[in-house]
Amino acid sequence: MSLPEAGAKRAVVEAMFDRIAPRYDLMNRLMTFGIDRGWRRRAIAALALRPDERVLDLACGSGDLAAAAVEAGGRVVGVDVSAGMLREARARRLGCGLVRADALALPLADASIDAVVSGFALRNFVDLRAALAESARVLRPGGRIALLEVDRPASALLRYGHAIYFRRIVPILGALVAERDAYAYLPESTAYLPDEPTLRGLLAAAGFGAIAKRSLLGGAAQLVTAERTDDAAERAGRPAERSPHA
């Protein structure tokens, strides 16, 4: 399928996730053979949460990462643009706040969050640079961010096998379980992902330091972590205390 133009991307992505929300968790388990659960636990572990720290699950979907953060002792708020995904999350009674909002305009005060986590969402943001800057704005200095995302294996053999599975098998599985177009979009949407040096540059420009990447399952996925520096707001070009909401 063709990728949406920039101006239509939010509406297309939001409608797509609304449609697939009831089958989203099942498809995640089937696509990854359940391995994604371990990836999410690793993302939360990388945040090294202390009791009652405030955690933002950005583009929370049905709430898998939010649930893991609650289990780790965090006070969690999940944010997503998809009403359908938030309905699924609320039905799970996760013990956290859930808010419908855009990653580019979070209804949270400056430096009000201790940690941000996001799972497989970077390619769905309309403006990744702005989303990272907004994450930096709501994080306190020293706050941590953990980003789970798909990746491209470095090994030629693994890359070949991954491409066949991701681009041919996953859309067929999606057609059987949920919606073919949505799971044809999934591999195509990797075109929106920056390469590692570019992503590191975007994080640094937003005001993050201590940037690190861990490859998962031979490079099929990646976990990128970073810390908010003291001058994140200035680097991102954001005025202080932009939002009065907590």
Distance between CA atoms of 40 and 148, rounded to whole angstroms? 8
For 20, 23, 62, 182, 194, the CA distances from 15, given in Å and listed in that order, are: 9, 14, 15, 10, 24
pLDDT (0 to 100) of residue 154: 85
Q: What type of residue is 21?
A: A
Distance of CA 238 to the CA centre of its chain: 22
pLDDT of residue 101: 96
The Cα–Cα gap between 158 and 228 comes to 34
pLDDT at 239: 41
- Residues (pLDDT < 50) of the chain are 233, 235-246
Residue-wise pLDDT for 57-84, tens only, equals 999 999 999 999 999 999 999 999 999 9
Position 163 scores a pLDDT of 87
Q: With 0-12 CB in 10 A as exposed, 13-18 as middle and 19+ as buried, what is 113?
A: buried
Distance CA 3, CA 72 (A): 37
pTM: 0.89
* Distance, first Cα to last Cα, the chain: 40
Token pair recorded at residue 90:
């609320």
Secondary structure letter of residue 92 according to DSSP: T
CB 211 within 8 A of CB 146: no
How far is Cα of residue 71 from the mean position of the Cα atoms in its chain? 19
E strand or H helix at 40: helix 35-46
Residue 113 is predicted with a pLDDT of: 98
Could you give the domains of the chain? 6-234 (3.40.50.150)
The pLDDT tens digits of the residues spanning 154-189 come to 888 888 888 898 888 998 988 999 898 889 888 889
What per-residue confidence (pLDDT) applies to 1? Answer: 57
**What's the CA gap between 52 and 83, in Å, rounded?**
27
Evaluate whether 72 touches 99 at the Cβ level (below 8 Å).
no
3-state SS assignment for residue 55: strand
